[in-house]
Amino acid sequence: MALPTHRPDIQRMITLHVALMVCVSGCIIVAGPIFDVTILAIMAAIVVSVVGLVTLRTRVSRAIAQPLAEITSVTQAIAEGAVSGRIELPQTASSDAIHVADAINKLASRAAQDIDDLRRLERVRSEFIANVSHELRTPIFSVQGYLETLLDGAADDPAVSQQFLEKAYNNALRLNVLLNDLIDISRIESGELKFSFRSFDIADLVRDLVEELHIRAEQQQVELHATLPDEAYVYGDRERISQVLVNLVENAIKYNVINGRVDVIVERNADRWKITVRDTGIGIPEEHLPRIFERFYRVDKDRSRAVGGTGLGLAIVKHICEAHRSSVAITSTPNVGTTISFALTQG
Beta bridge partners of 344: 273
Share of the chain above pLDDT 70, in %: 74
The model's confidence at residue 49, banded by pLDDT at 50, 70 and 90, is low
Share of the chain above pLDDT 90, in %: 32
Beta bridge partners of 274: 267, 343
Nearest to 305 by CA among 174, 153, 123, 144: 174
Residue 16 predicted with pLDDT over 70:
no
Q: Are residues 136 and 77 in the same domain?
A: no
The rounded distance, in Å, linking the Cα atoms of 309 and 255 is 10
Burial-class residue 308 by CB neighbours within 10 Å (0-12, 13-18, 19+). Answer: middle
Pairing assessment for the beta strands 260-269 and 222-227 based on DSSP bridges: parallel
- Phi and psi torsions of 188, nearest 5°: -65, -50
Q: Examine the fold and report which residue of 166, 190, 214 is the final residue of a domain before the chain moves on.
A: 190
Q: Are residues 160 and 286 in the same domain?
A: no
Do the domain assignments include residue 120?
A: no
Looking at residue 69, its pLDDT comes to 72
Residue pair 198/238 in contact by the 8 Å Cβ criterion: yes
CATH of the domain at 308: 3.30.565.10
Residue 18 predicted with pLDDT over 90:
no
Query: Could you write out the DSSP letters of every residue in 254-299?
Result: HT--TTEEEEEEEEEETTEEEEEEEE-SS---GGGGGGTTSTT--S
Looking at residue 298, its pLDDT comes to 73
Query: What DSSP state is assigned to residue 157?
Result: S
- Range from 33-47, 147-161, 249-263 carrying the lowest mean pLDDT: 33-47
For residue range 299-335, list pLDDT tens digits in order.
765 555 555 566 788 989 999 999 999 999 999 999 9
Mean pLDDT for the chain overall: 79
Pick the residue with more confidence: 113 or 29? 113
For residue range 241-263, list pLDDT tens digits in order.
999 999 999 999 999 999 999 99
Pick the residue with more confidence: 18 or 278? 278
The rounded distance, in Å, linking the Cα atoms of 290 and 302 is 20
Looking at residue 190, its pLDDT comes to 76
Do the domain assignments include residue 170?
A: yes
Do the domain assignments include residue 105?
A: yes
- State CA 308 to chain mean position distance: 29
Q: How many domains does the chain have?
A: 3
The rounded distance, in Å, linking the Cα atoms of 240 and 65 is 63
Looking at residue 64, its pLDDT comes to 64
Q: Are residues 216 and 93 in the same domain?
A: no
The range of the structural domain enclosing residue 138 comes to 127-190
Nearest to 273 by CA among 343, 337, 169, 173: 343
